[in-house]
Amino acid sequence: MTYTTIRGAEKHSAEHQQHVDRAVDVLGKEFGEKYAGEVQLRWLLAHPRHVLLVSDNAVALVLAAGREGQKLYLMWVEEKARGQGIGSALLKQIIAAYTTDHVMALDCPAAQGNFYKRHGFHRTNIAREGDCVHMAGPGE
């Protein structure tokens, strides 16, 4: 699978702007205003240390990509494409590109923890809100 990688910028090319707009739309619908509000996402996508990876059926946002303190903030695969290895392929690409020297952190619903464990992440603690799990790996 081929992904378009877009570094954060105040202004994107027309081609990249299409991807940014789509990512804001799908992430907002999937994760809701609390985690993926349009204003918040556009602010994050304008930061040059942040990276957006997009394909026809998947999106991921990595904060402070390739640096200490980086975080896989949001990752989404279109519902009809789930179970086909697309999420695994995207996560492997992110790990290969950004975790060489640094640990990557993420928060995910406890029900999805095993997916990340299969890719070298481990649980660090449980968030106080809901059943969100904090995980770190695999660049340790």
User: How is the chain split into domains, by residue range?
Assistant: 4-101
Encode 47-84: b = buried (16+ Cβ within 10 Å), e = exposed. Answer: eeebbbbbbebbbbbbbbbbeeebbbbbbbbeeeeeee
Is the pLDDT reported for residue 109 higher than 60? yes
Q: Please report, rounded to a whole number, the percentage of residues in the chain having pLDDT higher than 90.
A: 59
CATH of 4-101, one of 3.40.50.720, 3.40.630.30, 3.40.50.12280, 3.40.50.620: 3.40.630.30
Give per-residue pLDDT as tens, 14-49. Answer: 989 999 999 999 999 999 998 899 999 999 999 999
| pLDDT value at residue 76 | 94
